[in-house]
Amino acid sequence: TERTLVLVKPDGVERKLVGEVLARIERKGLHLVALELRTVDRETASQHYAEHDGKPFFESLLEFITSGPVLSAVVEGPRAIAAWRQLAGGTDPVEKATPGTIRGDFGLETQFNLVHGSDSPESAAREIKLWWPNL
């Protein structure tokens, strides 16, 4: 079994998609291990997105992710990292995510792509420690 960090970003919370996302996680058979709505500070946000520091969209990404509450969740199950990424769909909601995925069904723009998921066991460990240090 494996754990991954899932976020519903401020656009997803604002658009009332939290229930939709949680329902898809549960129907897939994944388990919710931790769940909390919180507004993240700039410091945590830049640590979370450290790999994108220096990229042209980094500043607006930080602004966006700190703009309102996000749902932070730890999700567990067999191949949870890949399973969640399958549910989420590709980064670009139009060019990459296919219909039937969260981003494919509800997203239009790459920055405002509604959800996040860890992309490897290493990032999952790092992100879960950052968001849930006491887990």
Q: Which positions lie near ligand ATP, rule CB under 6 A?
A: 57, 61, 91, 110-111, 113, 116, 119
The answer on whether 24 is annotated among ligand-binding residues is: no
Active-site residue, 31 included: no
The answer on whether 27 is annotated among ligand-binding residues is: no
Q: What is the DSSP secondary-structure string of 45-111?
A: HHHHTGGGTTSTTHHHHHHHHTSS-EEEEEEEETTHHHHHHHHH--SSTTTTPPBTBHHHHH--SST
**Strand bridging mode 70-77 / 115-117:** unpaired
Minimum CB–partner distance for residue 111 and ligand ATP (Å): 4
Phi, psi of 78 (to 5 degrees): -65, 130
Minimum CB–partner distance for residue 11 and ligand ATP (Å): 9
Nearer to ligand ATP, 77 or 107 (CB): 107
Minimum CB–partner distance for residue 24 and ligand ATP (Å): 16
Nearer to ligand ATP, 13 or 134 (CB): 13
Query: Among 31, 48, 52, 116, which one carries the catalytic annotation?
Result: 116
The answer on whether 39 is annotated among ligand-binding residues is: no
The answer on whether 9 is annotated among ligand-binding residues is: yes
CA distance linking residue 124 with residue 132, whole number of Å: 11
Phi, psi of 93 (to 5 degrees): -65, -20
Nearer to ligand ATP, 61 or 75 (CB): 61
Rg (the chain; Cα; Å)? 14
Residues annotated as catalytic are: 116
Annotated binding-site ranges for ATP: 9, 57, 85, 91, 103, 113
